[in-house]
Amino acid sequence: MPASEVDVTGLRERLRKIWKNARFRIVFWATLTGLLCGISGIGFAVEDVLASVRDYFRRHPSGGEVALVLQDSRTLDRLGKIDVSRGNDADVLEALFQAGAKRVFFDRALREDDDGDGNRRLIAALKKYQGRVYLGALPSSDGKNTGNFASNLPSPAFREHARIVSLMALKHPLELNLSFPFSSESPVGRLRTIPATIADVDEAPDQLFQPDFSIDYRTIPSVSYIDVMKGSFQTENVRGKDVIVAPGSVAYNDIHFMPGGQGYAAGGYFHAIAAETLLHGLPIRLGWFPPFLLVFAIVVSGVGRGRVLDVYRFTGLAAVLIAAPFVLDYVRIHVEIFPALAVATVAVFRMRNLDRVEVAEETNAVSGLPSAHALRNLDAMSTKILVALKIRNYGAIIGSFAEHVEAQMAHEIVRRIRISDHDVTVYHEGGMFLWLSNIRSTFDLFENLEGLHRIVQNGIQVGGLDIDLSFNCGIDSEFDRSVSSRVASAMQSAEEAVRNDELFYQHDSRKHEAQWEISLLTQLDRAIDNGEVWVAYQPKLDVKTNAITGAEALVRWTHPERGPISPDKFIRIAEEFHRIERITRFVINDAVRVAVDLASQGHDISISVNISAQLLRNPGLPGMISEILALHGLSSERLILEITETDRLDRSSRTFQMLQRLIQSGLRLSIDDFGTGNATIDYLRYLPATEVKIDKVFIQAMEANRQDHLLVQSIIEMAHSLDRTVVAEGVETGTALEILKGMGCDMIQGYYVCRPVPFPDLVERMAGEHERLSG
């Protein structure tokens, strides 16, 4: 193979491993969310609200460089008109310049009126003060020209002796704020806006700036138009200033909401504030990218558990993001923080949820010890012997004493393990305790375990109670495999020791177990045919109606010599040797037959069947299921396929495409064992399922562990927000049922309702349930 192909293959593999990292995916989606927010401007309204709040707290008086002459309601009342005339404008111009005004800007596009003498008088005034009077240009009223184009110009007779300025402004979404262009295009060329002209700033039409609305518009010097006409105003209000003549009466329909909590004001005040903003310095608009980049760097540096991404530090980061623009506003630097906040929010809360799930998975909810799942996640190699200690009577002890005994008993066992095997980390899962021993010699370890057995045989005392214990051990010393792959071997060896009534059993892949497994495989087909393999049914109870509305089909094998064989064992073998399709066909066929039989008896329930991840890659699966449904005449929506783990589940995978085909055929999907293995949040996001089954490890621990209680509640709320039905597995007590009912869980399944039973027992149970509801 050419070196280039090797490099590409290696790169692809590295990228695949990176993408499989849940924290990398969280950072990726958080970053993408922030980029989309920034590029699309989706947070514009939020930025305006934040800017308005900052302006409110920064409010300060005007510098007084610009004055206003308002054509207010009092002016129109005194004139007895609905508008001022051009002759009135001529009188105002004369009075303003006589009072020492620097320049005069009309916030209107002046048109000639019917009074010819008034038009002539205004033209004469414009000639007299040529170069010092600016007339406004507005956008077209017919909608023909859109954008930053001022097409509504003053009359040509007035334009000849006056300068023209743009009156354009851009309203933000929801009218929470506005921006001004520095200039606008027009039929007579580029026109600067009033603020840019007053501040003598010359920028392109496509550039915008945001006025400083912390300036209190009420402190801007202003006089009434009628007072200027009559000469009865304080001349110091306009002397040496640029003056804006603007409509101020509601009749002109030029009253607008002013940001910063200042209420409504005439449009002329907006031009005055914008002009004063530019007179104090050109605002610098950095936009959204610098804050986004800063937060991105912080998030990337803190992807590890326990760093940066906790609630307190997130609160501090959010506070800094919100406070920084407040400080920058004082030096006329504007930034937008919504995309940065979006990155921080998505990354922090998704990573916190991931942390909670990982902690729950890797911590035994009852004892607080590391769980066996933490060992299964340990891909590193180790030269230490792995020991699995199985308490034979663990279930009986737990069932006979109070809840707190389990945790105390676990810690007493750990204390005894550490007497001779110092400082080992002990992992706990039910009645199984695992550790990597510091004792290097297998012979010495055997002696140590015999000594431990004698100590434990004397019993232990927990809370004043004497407890008799009995245990067996499994040992794995195959150091050429990763720890994660050795866990199952050690635990399986412990189970083998229990069956053979030996103190310890050492795993050896060279022993006859492989032959037994192959033999088991050859027996499996005969077992299905002669009835050794059968299907048990475990009812599902609707929490609200207290009625059985479904059942899960579970395969069982009762061997004539070995007795019940663990489904995990023979299913694993069937998957390994690609024989899982035969078992699945058998279970589905029986489940569909049972559903039809129950329906004929008046029990309208759904039946759930587990589907192997391996089978999801078999293109013949939909056809097989359709064939069985058609054979028995069962509607597809009555069959639920429970999906557990797959190695990869995204929209481009074959597995996802298979699931889509199953959905399109009318079948329903359920996420089994949610919260463990691969069945986590990403699974919920991608899998097109209608049902989520919370793994029993969380349900059985939530009564005693607040963390698991909160985790179950979070899963229910999250699943409901995505319109999924929630089923709690492993419910064994009435207390658990009441807790789940309070959380809004939809259905429960477990020994509290009924253990898995043969079909005749299920029929009997359903009949009793039917009579109870009918009565």
User: Can you give the residue ranges of every domain in the chain?
Assistant: 3-40+285-356, 58-275, 372-511, 532-774
Judged on CB neighbours under 10 Å (0-12, 13-18, 19+), 258 is buried
For range 242-251, the mean pLDDT: 94
- State the angle between helix axes of 338-362 and 44-57 in degrees (0 to 180), rounded to the nearest 10: 110
Q: pLDDT for 717-732, tens place per residue?
A: 989 998 999 999 989 8
Assess whether the region 372-511 and the region 532-774 belong to the same CATH fold: no
Facing residues of 642 across strands? 610, 670
Local structure of 606: helix, strand or coil: strand
Confidence of residue 360 (pLDDT cuts 50, 70, 90): low
Sign for the pseudo-dihedral over CA of 612, 616, 621, 622: positive
Please state, in angstroms and rounded to a whole number, the distance separating the CA atoms of residues 149 and 184: 6
Pairing state between β 432-436 and 460-462 = unpaired
Please state, in angstroms and rounded to a whole number, the distance separating the CA atoms of residues 176 and 46: 9
- Angle in degrees, CA 141, 146, 147, rounded to 5: 125
Residue 628: other Cβ atoms inside 10 A: 18
Q: What residues contact residue 618 under an 8 Å CB cut-off, 6+ apart? A: 581
Please state, in angstroms and rounded to a whole number, the distance separating the CA atoms of residues 183 and 202: 8
For range 65-87, the mean pLDDT: 93
Local structure of 476: helix, strand or coil: strand
For range 220-235, the mean pLDDT: 93
Confidence of residue 485 (pLDDT cuts 50, 70, 90): confident
- HEC profile for 114-177? CCHHHHHHHHHHHHHCCCCEEEEEECCCCCCCCCCECCECCCHHHHCCCEEEECCCEECHHHCC
Residue 666 corresponds to which amino acid?
G
Local structure of 247: helix, strand or coil: strand
Contact 126, 154 (CB under 8 A): no
User: For residue 137, how far is the Cα from the chain centroid?
Assistant: 48
Contact 720, 743 (CB under 8 A): no
Q: What residues contact residue 772 under an 8 Å CB cut-off, 6+ apart? A: none
Place of tokens 């005194």: 78
Facing residues of 152 across strands? 138
Of 713, 684, 683, 686, nearest to 698 by C-alpha is 713
For range 497-507, the mean pLDDT: 76
Please state, in angstroms and rounded to a whole number, the distance separating the CA atoms of residues 337 and 321: 7
Q: pLDDT for 296-328, tens place per residue?
A: 888 777 665 444 455 666 777 778 888 888 888
For range 596-600, the mean pLDDT: 91
Pairing state between β 263-266 and 460-462 = unpaired
| Token couple for 54 | 């900052």
pLDDT at residue 518, as a whole number: 61
pLDDT at residue 312, as a whole number: 63
pLDDT at residue 306, as a whole number: 45
Give exposure, 285-316, as e/b (b: 16+ Cβ within 10 Å).
eeebbebbebbbebbeebbeeeebbbeeebee
Please state, in angstroms and rounded to a whole number, the distance separating the CA atoms of residues 100 and 242: 10
Q: pLDDT for 455-478, tens place per residue?
A: 776 777 776 777 777 788 888 888
> Which class is 372-511 in CATH?
alpha beta
Q: What residues contact residue 335 under an 8 Å CB cut-off, 6+ apart? A: 286, 287, 288, 290, 291, 324, 325, 328
Which range among 85-99, 343-357, 498-512 has the greatest average pLDDT? Answer: 85-99
For range 634-642, the mean pLDDT: 93
pLDDT at residue 356, as a whole number: 67
DSSP per residue, 704-739: T-HHHHHHHHHHHHHHHHTT-EEEE----SHHHHHH
Residue 278 CA: distances (Å) to CA of 48, 281, 714: 20, 5, 51
Q: What percent of the chain has pLDDT over 90?
A: 37
Please state, in angstroms and rounded to a whole number, the distance separating the CA atoms of residues 667 and 68: 72
For range 375-379, the mean pLDDT: 77
pLDDT at residue 20, as a whole number: 65
| CATH number of this structure's domain 532-774 | 3.20.20.450
| Token couple for 372 | 């066996």
Write phi, then psi, for 395 (nearest 5 degrees): -60, -40
Q: Is 184 left (phi over 0), alpha (psi -120 to 50) or beta?
A: beta
- Asked if pLDDT for residue 202 goes beyond 60, the answer is yes
For range 508-513, the mean pLDDT: 54
Place of tokens 């002539």: 120
- Asked if pLDDT for residue 383 goes beyond 90, the answer is no
Residue 360 corresponds to which amino acid?
A
Task: Report CA dihedral (111, 116, 117, 120) to the nearest 10 degrees.
Answer: 60
pLDDT at residue 651, as a whole number: 57
